[in-house]
Amino acid sequence: MADNILLSAVPVIAPATRIALRQRKQAVCRRGDRRRPEALFVRESTLSHSAGEIRARAVLAGGCDSPVRSGWSVGGPMFVQTSAAGAYAFDESGRRYVDYVMAYGPLLFGHTHPALTLRLDELARGGFVWGNTHPEEVRLAERIRAYVPSMQRLRFVTSGTEAVMSAVRVARASTRRSTILKFAGNYHGHFDLALFGAGASAHTQVAADAGIPEGVMRDVAVARYNDLASVDALVQGRETDLAAIVVEPFVGNMGYVPPQPGFLEGLRERATRVGALLIFDEVITWLRFGLGGAQERLGVVPDLTAIGKIMGGGAPIAAFGGRADVMSVLAPDGPTFTGGTHGGNPFCVGMAHRVLDLIEAHPEYYARLRKIAGRLAGGIRVIFERLGLPFAVVQNESIVDFKFRAGPPSQNFDDALAADKRAYASYYRAMLDRGILLPPSQNEVMFVSTAHTAADIDETIAAIDESVSLTIP
């Protein structure tokens, strides 16, 4: 997995410091210390920690509720946010940052869009959770199915992790098989089998150290994205035990990586041929890529689909669904259990209706998002061309990304891992100093929202110009 050393606060590490860190890391590895080498340098970081971070570390495990937030991948310190509005995040001092994290994707309209944040008492008047099926839950399912016809039957849950985990269980029950094939660099949440070869910031290397039984590994095959030969090699001899192929149709967790022509079609053909199911993880792509998601754009129909909290504008609601015959294995119609008290709760369902209402009322939002993201990507390309940097800039809809790696855009996790992690960490710090909040991991992407303005983009481009020049003098 990714091999990150924590960095000091200066934009570029002095050569002597680099050598010292490298030597110490090598010594640690020779001693056989089973902790991540980068974790050993946390206490020695020269970065100062805010009062909020110190307080968090005293009570939250690791000081955070999701490891990427700690900032360890970029040398820290942790960004502690106190408020947000529109395209902006604010730190403990009240300083404003142009935010491209956007909660890692679900904030399509930015923070605090009035259509989502006003009159919340109307949604809460009847309570937050009932534990019973209700008409608005049914209506939301009907609306989703109208846009994603492959989801003939669906079930609401609370997170993307739960959605994919449940889809995997349904696939195994429907096929009566065990093996799941996934792809290195894709991220499907934090349940056991999803963490092998995962992207995002899930640096799971040794199963036993990560609390994952080694037996789980027997039922997981991790292939190379965009490589059908890799799929064939792993499936050979296991055809009759392959339950499902699970994939991000467009990947957003090893940077942005699109499928090569014929790749997803090849997965569809192979799954059908061996009697396995094809699962699309559209937690990032549904609504980001339109009301029909990636599957409508690509013309490839999966058997099961997982969608996430973007449907609630960031509220904790997700869903999985697919073919009626496949979903029929779920209790009470079948023997397979999934369920939870908060699934389909009226408050989050109400938020999801508001999101769909907003998109339906403003179809022009997608053109606006493409324009503003294109402005950002174009500005970055101009900078790289002027500086003679051979880095590819990619943009699709409202996602923008580049890697500190020479050559064409990434096609798989190997390409993503070849990017310069030290350069990204230095770049991240320089951008933060200039009031731009990027994801604290090079495996993530920049998300643009309808709240971002041309002025925000121009401010960002100016900051990128300065920061890249400092990072790569």
Choose the catalytic residue: 88, 100, 187, 256: 187
Cis before 149? omega within 30 = no
Q: Which residue, among 101, 34, 28, 189, has the nearest Cα to 445 in the 3D structure?
A: 101
Q: Which residue, among 158, 141, 108, has the nearest Cα to 313 in the 3D structure?
A: 108
Examine the residue annotation and report whether 192 is marked as an active-site residue of this protein: no
The whole-angstrom separation of Cα 446 and Cα 76 is: 19
Examine the residue annotation and report whether 187 is marked as an active-site residue of this protein: yes
Amino acid making up residue 471: T
DSSP string, 331-385: TTTSSB----TTTT-HHHHHHHHHHHHHHHH-TTHHHHHHHHHHHHHHHHHHHHH
Examine the residue annotation and report whether 421 is marked as an active-site residue of this protein: no
The order of strands in the sheet holding 220-223 is 153-157, 318-322, 304-307, 277-281, 242-247, 179-183, 220-223
Choose the catalytic residue: 192, 281, 401, 415: 281
Sign, Cα dihedral of 89, 286, 345, 362: positive
DSSP string, 383-413: HHHHHT--EEEEEETTEEEEEEEESSPP-SH
Choose the catalytic residue: 309, 424, 428, 456: 309
Inter-axis angle of helices 263-274 and 228-235, nearest 10: 20
Query: Catalytic amino acids?
Result: 187, 281, 309
